[in-house]
């Protein structure tokens, strides 16, 4: 028994040793290897924009480091050699970031990643710490202050580059802090998630904006033609009248009347131009035969010259048939002769302090067509053709911006194409006139001018007395309230004649008009007219009174219905000249 006892003890020791070795082997085999995801740092979504932004930030840091003095790179190199803080994993078996991870996050594990290797080196972070860079820079700032001042004087561009890089680095750091600790979490829609500036001015919605109402919502919008705004108006209607040709022997008729009017206004920065025109065509549907047309076109051009000079040029053409009530009307013709007029003027204005000077030259040429008698005979009107040349000098003084009194003198010469008419009279004449007036400019309230004076045309033939008389001219517009316009026009005209033994007459024409916008789409208008014709060398005279009232109802901005009634009466102390004409018109007006 005593000899077997030692064997038993030795066997127990061998069994214990074997069990201990087996346990150690099992523990070694069960030790976990480092996770590949931890080694490669696959910890979230990585976008290409985040990688590109990280590379650009590193490049700016390198440029900023190159602009610093030599002390800063030395401090940075010493910092790079300092081992990194040991990594403290949150779970057993985790290992710190390795050197190889900086190459690419998709690289396969290397042989040097053995966790049991004895020659492990402390891992460096994948990107340098911005906090440590600022600390290093602050530690060397006091030592390099003098050097930086010298460099700033010698190389201001490098210093500004370094400051710009530092600002970019701070902006990148702030962006990283806002998006989270992991800069690779930045995605392509990060810009859409930026915070709004609380100090930015808010813009109201389009629907909430107040739109300023138009002054006239039914006014013609116009058509853009080059540098002009063209506004045409076409009116078509029917007229029922008791006297178709407004003469002592006129009869009733129903006429088709077409009127075309237009205005073209320039859209220039400095100078300006305006073109106006109209055309009226009448044809008989029933009753007295009427087939005539009339129209006019006129252009005005205003230009500023040097030395405070302004030039105003006008040019016009008019074609109007001779009125059956004219003193020179020809009896027994199928239609009265067509009178055509070409006129033009050029004026130059000069301001000297409050003094205003204007010199205007004008030319007017009248020529007549040859009418045909009922028997087919053509009556020549060549002896009525004439040209009037005139020059007018005006001097004014501006009492205030609204009132400018003036005085002007006129001199001219009327020359007939034929020196002697069909009756053997020399019809050419010399024209002289003088007048005084007032210019008014009160914006939209009251504007225009009026003048009075004396006008005389002395005929070359001594057998004929001169056409002379008071001169009255007016062109005023007054707006007593919004939507109401009252106009006053007046003109004095010397009418020559080829009647044997007669010099002609002086015609005074006046017209008072009113326009009222009853509603936005309803406009009322009215007119009163007075004409006085004084025959030279006799006591003969004509008085013509007229009145008119009308309404225009706009269906929309481009079309409307219009109507008007008119009456006209001529009273004369000469035989066979009295007449009365009443008419009613209804039509459709379109504009653009």
**Domains of the chain and CATH, by start:** 34-188 (no CATH), 231-591 (2.40.160)
Report the alpha-carbon distance of residue 133 to residue 166 in Å, rounded: 11
Residue 10: the pLDDT is 54
Percentage of the chain lying above the pLDDT 70 cut: 66
Kindly state the average pLDDT of the residues 405-409: 97
Report the alpha-carbon distance of residue 463 to residue 454 in Å, rounded: 23
Q: pTM of this prediction? A: 0.64
Report the alpha-carbon distance of residue 188 to residue 192 in Å, rounded: 9
Q: Look up residue 110 and give its DSSP letter.
A: P
Report the alpha-carbon distance of residue 132 to residue 170 in Å, rounded: 13
Between 503 and 36, whose confidence is greater? 503
> Within a 13 Å sphere around the CA of 83, how many CA atoms are in the beta-carbon half?
7
3-state secondary structure of 81: helix
Quick one: tokens of 507?
Answer: 């015609």
**Partners of residue 514 on adjacent β-strands:** 486, 526
Pair 294, 279: CB distance under 8 Å? yes
**Cα torsion 429, 434, 438, 439: sign:** positive
- Over 90: is that where the pLDDT of 423 sits? no
Distances (CA, A) of 556 to 230, 286, 587: 19, 32, 15
Tokens 């004026």 -> residue: 347
Between 91 and 481, whose confidence is greater? 481
Report the alpha-carbon distance of residue 461 to residue 429 in Å, rounded: 9
- Segment 24-81, tens digit of pLDDT: 665 555 555 444 444 444 444 556 666 777 777 777 777 766 655 444 445 454 445 5
pLDDT band at 464; cut points 50, 70, 90: very high
Q: Which residues contact 257 (CB under 8 A, 6 or more apart)?
A: 235, 236, 237, 238, 239, 280, 281, 282, 585, 587
Residue 117: the pLDDT is 46
- Over 60: is that where the pLDDT of 138 sits? no
Report the alpha-carbon distance of residue 573 to residue 46 in Å, rounded: 109
Quick one: tokens of 386?
Answer: 């004439």
- List, as one string, the DSSP characters of 468-505: EEEEEEEEEEE-SSTTEEEEEEEEEEEEE--STT--EE
Residue 209: the pLDDT is 55
Report the alpha-carbon distance of residue 447 to residue 416 in Å, rounded: 37
3-state secondary structure of 222: coil
- Over 90: is that where the pLDDT of 123 sits? no
φ and ψ of 168, to 5 deg: -65, -40
The whole-chain average pLDDT of the chain stands at: 78
Kindly state the average pLDDT of the residues 233-253: 93
Q: For the chain, first and last CA: distance in Å?
A: 138
- List, as one string, the DSSP characters of 367-422: EE---BBTTSPBPP-GGG-EEEEEEEEEEEE-SBTTEEEEEEEEEEEEEESSSB-T
Pair 579, 563: CB distance under 8 Å? no
């Amino acid at each position: 028994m005593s000899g077997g006892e030692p064997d038993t003890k030795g066997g127990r020791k061998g069994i214990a040793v074997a069990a201990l070795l087996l346990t150690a082997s099992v523990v070694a085999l069960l030790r976990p290897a480092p996770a590949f995801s931890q080694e490669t740092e696959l910890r979230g979504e990585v976008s290409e924009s985040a990688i590109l932004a990280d590379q650009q930030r590193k490049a700016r840091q390198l440029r900023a480091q190159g602009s610093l003095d030599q002390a800063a790179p030395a401090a940075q190199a010493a910092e790079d050699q300092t081992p990194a803080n040991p990594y403290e994993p949150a779970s057993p078996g985790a290992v710190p970031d390795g050197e190889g991870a900086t190459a690419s996050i998709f690289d396969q594990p290397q042989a040097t990643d053995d966790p049991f290797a004895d020659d492990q080196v402390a891992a460096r972070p994948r990107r340098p710490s911005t906090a440590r860079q600022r600390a290093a820079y602050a530690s060397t700032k006091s030592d390099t202050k003098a050097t930086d001042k010298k460099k700033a004087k010698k190389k201001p561009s490098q210093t500004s580059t370094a400051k710009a890089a530092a600002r970019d680095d701070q902006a990148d750091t702030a962006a990283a802090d806002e998006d989270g600790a992991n800069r690779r979490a930045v995605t392509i829609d990060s810009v859409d998630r930026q915070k709004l500036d609380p100090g930015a001015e808010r813009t109201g919605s389009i629907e909430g904006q107040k739109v300023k109402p138009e002054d006239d919502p039914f006014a013609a919008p116009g058509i853009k033609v080059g540098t002009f705004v063209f506004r045409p108006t076409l009116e078509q209607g029917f007229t029922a009248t008791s006297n178709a040709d407004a003469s002592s022997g006129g009869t009733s008729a129903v006429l088709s009347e077409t009127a075309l009017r237009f205005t073209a206004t320039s859209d220039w920065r400095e100078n300006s131009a305006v073109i106006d025109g109209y055309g009226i065509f009448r044809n008989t549907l029933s009753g007295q035969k009427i087939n005539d047309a009339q129209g006019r076109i006129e252009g005005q051009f205003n230009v500023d010259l040097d030395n405070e000079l302004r030039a105003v040029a006008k040019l016009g053409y008019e074609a109007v048939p001779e009125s059956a009530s004219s003193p020179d009307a020809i009896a027994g013709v199928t239609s009265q002769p067509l009178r055509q007029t070409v006129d033009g003027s050029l004026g130059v204005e000069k301001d000297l302090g409050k003094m205003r000077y204007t010199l205007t030259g004008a030319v007017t040429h009248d020529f007549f067509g040859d009418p045909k008698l009922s028997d087919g005979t053509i009556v020549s009107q060549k002896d009525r053709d004439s040209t009037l040349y005139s020059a007018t000098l005006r001097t004014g003084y501006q009492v205030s911006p609204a009132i400018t009194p003036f005085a002007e003198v006129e001199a001219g010469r009327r020359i007939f194409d034929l020196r002697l008419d069909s009756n053997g009279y020399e019809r050419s004449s010399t024209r002289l006139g003088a007048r005084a007036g007032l210019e008014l400019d009160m914006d939209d309230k009251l504007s225009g001018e009026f003048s009075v004076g004396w006008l005389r045309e002395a005929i070359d033939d001594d057998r004929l007395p001169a056409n002379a008389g008071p001169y009255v001219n007016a062109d005023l517009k007054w707006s007593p309230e919004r939507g109401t316009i009252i106009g006053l026009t007046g003109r004095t005209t010397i009418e020559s004649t080829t009647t044997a033994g007669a010099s002609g007459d002086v015609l005074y024409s006046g017209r008072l008009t009113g326009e009222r916008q009853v509603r936005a789409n309803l406009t009322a208008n009215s007119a009163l007219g007075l004409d006085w014709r004084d025959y030279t060398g006799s006591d003969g005279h004509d008085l013509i009174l007229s009145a008119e009232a009308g309404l225009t109802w706009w269906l929309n901005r481009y079309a409307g219905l219009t109507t008007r009634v008119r009456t006209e009466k001529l009273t004369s102390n000469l035989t066979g000249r009295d007449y009365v004409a009443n008419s009613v018109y209804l039509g459709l007006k379109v504009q653009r």
